[in-house]
Structure 1
Amino acid sequence: MCDLPVAWTRVDDARGTAVGALVPERSGHRIEGGETAADGGGVYSCRFTVRTDLAWATRSVHVEVLSSTGVRTMDVTCRAGLWTVDGERRPLLDGCTDVDIAATPLTHTLPIRRLGLRRGEHRDISAVWISVPDLRVSRVSQRYTRLEPTGDGRARYEYRAADHGYEISVDHEGLVIDHQDLYERVP
């Protein structure tokens, strides 16, 4: 498993970059990452840690954001299928397995690895969506469909949510290489 960082540049705004790493742990997996952006939403920096169990189900998330409103942090946890945000129970999130942090392509790795889809197969999931830089939390329905691989053999997926969708290609670890119209891996 890759514990070296990978980097992405924002395709939609050249003033944005993201970096992240997938790190194996004894009881599961950890993703570490961040993004710095200067887009229509203002200038911000986001740093996060997501921990999963061995089956890639999210167990805890820590997010820090530096923006024009100052420094804000958030902790999200899931224990026995019950979610809390900064220690407060959020029953609306119960039943979610994954977290999707808006400031990174890295959290796509979680459902891609967890679902293990075959070509042509799709799965509908519910995820905890964390909006950045405002740190709003909501439940979102998502669909991942595994497509035919790219010409050079990279795995491809179609991602769909209620208000948007795109294609992504990933490496053998499930780390995003190309995120249609938003991110591109830096070689």
Structure 2
Amino acid sequence: MSSPTEHPAAWARTDVPEGLGLGTLLPEPDGYRLEAGETVVEGEERFFTRFTVRTDLAWATREVRTEVVSSRGTAAVALAAQGGHWFDDKGNPLPGLVGCLDVDVAATPLTNTLPIRRLGLRPGEYRDIQVVWIDIPSLRVRRVRQRYTRHAAEGGLERYTYRDPLHGEYRLSVDGHGVVVDYERFARRLRADD
């Protein structure tokens, strides 16, 4: 399986009638950049999301910009983080997000890479974390508690369980780069032979 830094990864959404996402992970001199987009059609609702996340070398989020195009027009949210302190695009502090080191853009499995890489869990370990959750397509921002548990590898893929109080528990399989291959009841990576 090729690296998402060489070729973008593509996912089919399995939780909606039609949805397709594409994302890539790019190394930068002072960290990493995640770039992704997704189109979803569900009933009368149709939207396109595009986002960029920049992290430091330890995979802690430094900034995120998310845009949504829908029948309601175009909207965007931009946030910056430094040492677990978050700010809006005007530099105003967001005290409700203090201590969050990861961002989860709800439209994509790509942002699950952030805590997977940052935490470096061994099989059998788990960690409870607080993340900045950006809901798609509303762009509502809130703090969410999540738990990542790493399991033994199987079939050449690393295995995790993800849990949060809003959405429940999901099993994830990821490649050697920490990028999701299968996300139970949410998304499935498309391979060249699909």
CA drift at 1:14: 4.0
What CA distance in whole angstroms lies between the structure 2 residues aligned with 1:37 and 1:84? 29
Of the candidates 131, 136, 139, which is equivalent to residue 135 of structure 1?
Answer: 139
Is 1:20 aligned to residue 23 of structure 2?
Answer: yes
Which residue in 2 is equivalent to 1:125?
129
Paired residue type of 2:163: R
Deviations 1:85-116 (CA, angstroms, capped at 9, x unpaired)? 23232100010000000010000000000001
Which residue in 2 is equivalent to 1:92?
96
Of the candidates 64, 67, 83, which is equivalent to residue 64 of structure 1?
Answer: 67
For normalisation by structure 2, the TM-score amounts to 0.92
For normalisation by structure 1, the TM-score amounts to 0.96
CA shift in 2, pair 1:169/1:93, >3 Å: same
CA drift at 1:13: 2.4
What CA distance in whole angstroms lies between the structure 2 residues aligned with 1:132 and 1:28? 25
CA drift at 1:41: 7.6
How many equivalent pairs are there?
Answer: 186
Which residue in 2 is equivalent to 1:162?
165
What CA distance in whole angstroms lies between the structure 1 residues aligned with 2:142 and 2:179? 24
Mean alpha-carbon deviation: is it higher for 172-181 or for 83-92?
83-92
Is 1:52 aligned to residue 41 of structure 2?
Answer: no
CA shift in 2, pair 1:106/1:10, >3 Å: same
CA drift at 1:40: 5.0
CA shift in 2, pair 1:41/1:49, >3 Å: farther
Deviations 1:65-96 (CA, angstroms, capped at 9, x unpaired)? 00111001111110232101232321000100
Give identity over the alignment, percent.
51
Deviations 1:146-175 (CA, angstroms, capped at 9, x unpaired)? 01222x121010001013110000000000
Residue segments in structure 2 that go unaligned for 5+ positions in a row:
none
Which residue in 2 is equivalent to 1:113?
117
Q: Report runs of 4+ in structure 1 exceeding 4 Å deviation.
A: none
